[in-house]
Structure 1
Amino acid sequence: MGKRGEVKILSNETFTVQLYLDYFNERLRVDDYRGNIKKVLEAIEPILIENQFSKCIFHSRAEHWKLLLSYGFQLEAIFSGYFNGSDNYAMTLYKDQERRKSDVWVKEDEILESVMKKGKNQELKRTPEDYVFRRAVEKDAGKLATLYRTVFSIYPTPMDEEEYVLKMLRTTSIFYIVEYNNEIVSAASADINKSFHHAELTDCATLPTYRKYGLMKKILVKLEEELRREHIFCTFSIARALSFGMNAAFYQLGYTYTGRMTNNCYIYDNLEDMNVWVKNLAT
């Protein structure tokens, strides 16, 4: 498989912008910028065309999202507190009609409504004593890759590769795992952005046989505790809109739904809509 993505920085006398060219998910993401917004948009247009990206995601500060509306972007979600306490308005532009269209939007609305009707049950299921919860270490990289390879046939990042997982463990991510009989049966991570002081709760995976104990909710609570110790209080997650269980877990843990990203990334064998959930760990 070729390169899944790369960071690119463009800079001149009128602007500087940090991009992520996401070849795997056929999209361009504007992660940070300063200067003339119009010039930024002129600079990224040829990149969209050259790479045949069908979606552009622009992480906009509060003072710029209305300007982006005038250039054809639309607001899909708000990541509260994303930029060192200031909100990120996730603006999107589509270059392909099929990428813009979702055939399951109403079904996803119904799932979200069901999640909220269920209520915020904060109780955690009892886990058998022989299940071990702990923070992952570097030697767990191989078993973590096996877990993700087993659970997901396709995933937006190469979590099925031991070297990639090891890199994440050594740099930006905290992983929490559950072991049973010396096997990792459930895991999730907090990917920390040290520049903007936020973290994404992501890479949530549990082997099907072990999904009856509510392991993921407990892992998420453990990750929140780790983030507070790191003084990271802005946290968010992007959950499959078709997954009742994951959306229910975040809602019950006090996260707020703030939007849905259409055909955002490949999971399993399709592009999927993703719900955005945010939480302030300081409150």
Structure 2
Amino acid sequence: MVADTHLIRTDLCTAEIYIDVFNKRLRVDDIRGNIVEAIEKAEELVHVHQAEKLIVKGRHEQYEKLVEHGFQCEAVIDRYFLGSNLYFFCKYYTNERRTSNQWFQEDQIVKQVLAIEGQKQIISPADCQMKKCSYKDVDALASLYRKVFQIYPTPLNDPQYIKKTLDEGTIYYGFFSNGEIISAASAEVNSLYKNAELTDCATLPEHRKHGLMKFLLEKLEEELKSSGIYCVYSIARSLSFGMNAALHQLGYTYRGRLMNNCYIFDKLEDMNVWVKNLSKR
């Protein structure tokens, strides 16, 4: 279920490709050299693995070549590459994957979210304690994710996988009540480009009324800023009003939607991209 990494290296180009069999997609990172040859090599792997979607993390100077080869820009992450923008270019290989039946409904959710003014004042419940998670919490984290998500793009229901992400520098914070984790979120840090994705957001249904996720995301932002990381982003389920509203109220900017991006919650879903610049006053 975890994506495998494949390195493309020819006389003309180098690129990293993540082969995500579970989500039937491939993602190309860090294309250097001849972009046309890199795309051709990536599409060969698409057919080998019968992928339905190819994603390229493109740069501004690659925009025209990607459009020429059938890609469409779906979202942007500002300042991702040490200050320059990342463009999510996508190409589809089946009509079903290229079609979203929820698109209009998701447009309405974004419209409603963007109409919300200001940050809602919320108070953390007195019987909860927020703390940074460590190796001793991996079983409890896996249990939380297992309860909240019937399906998830990565195997967060496996304690060993969570331990591996901790080894790789991912930061987890959680709310604990009576010794149980009731809400958690993480920051997946890209040390090369100095950015982070706020992800793995989950709260048990009976505790969602308290708005715990906003506290967790703000705490993660504080830790990232202290490490000199100012580009943060999050990719949220387009059908989740609550998660999109939380990001908007925390000052994140909506930057596009990735169609049929991954299997999450209970099906293949579109995902909204939200971005924040932590260096702003």
What TM-score results when the alignment is normalised by the length of structure 2?
0.98
> What is the aligned partner in structure 2 of residue 261 from structure 1?
258
Query: What's the CA shift for 1:157?
Result: 0.3
1:252 aligns with 2:256: no
In structure 2, the residue corresponding to 1:99 is in which secondary structure? Answer: coil
> What is the aligned partner in structure 2 of residue 42 from structure 1?
40
Mapped to 2, the partners of 1:163 and 1:15 lie a distance apart of: 35
Mapped to 1, the partners of 2:213 and 2:140 lie a distance apart of: 17
Query: What's the CA shift for 1:269?
Result: 2.4
Structure 2 unaligned spans of 5+: none
Mapped to 2, the partners of 1:12 and 1:128 lie a distance apart of: 56
Alignment of 1:222-241 (within 5 A): 222-241=219-238
Structure 1 unaligned spans of 5+: none
Query: What's the CA shift for 1:268?
Result: 2.1
Query: What's the CA shift for 1:170?
Result: 2.1
Alignment of 1:132-147 (within 5 A): 132-147=129-144
In structure 2, the residue corresponding to 1:156 is in which secondary structure? Answer: coil
1:37-83 CA distance string (max 9 Å, x none): 11111111210011110000000011111210011100100011111
Q: Is the 8 A contact 2:149 2:266 kept in 1?
A: no
Mapped to 2, the partners of 1:87 and 1:127 lie a distance apart of: 35
Query: What's the CA shift for 1:229?
Result: 0.9
Q: Is the 8 A contact 2:3 2:20 kept in 1?
A: yes
1:245-278 CA distance string (max 9 Å, x none): 0000000000000100000000122110000000
Residue type of the alignment partner of 2:93: K
Mapped to 2, the partners of 1:98 and 1:123 lie a distance apart of: 39
Q: Percent identity?
A: 49
Mapped to 1, the partners of 2:236 and 2:227 lie a distance apart of: 24
CA RMSD of aligned residues (A): 0.9
1:185 aligns with 2:182: yes
What TM-score results when the alignment is normalised by the length of structure 1?
0.97
Residue type of the alignment partner of 1:10: I
Query: What's the CA shift for 1:198?
Result: 0.5
1:127 aligns with 2:152: no
Q: Is the 8 A contact 1:136 1:177 kept in 2?
A: yes
Count residues in correspondence.
280
1:175 aligns with 2:172: yes
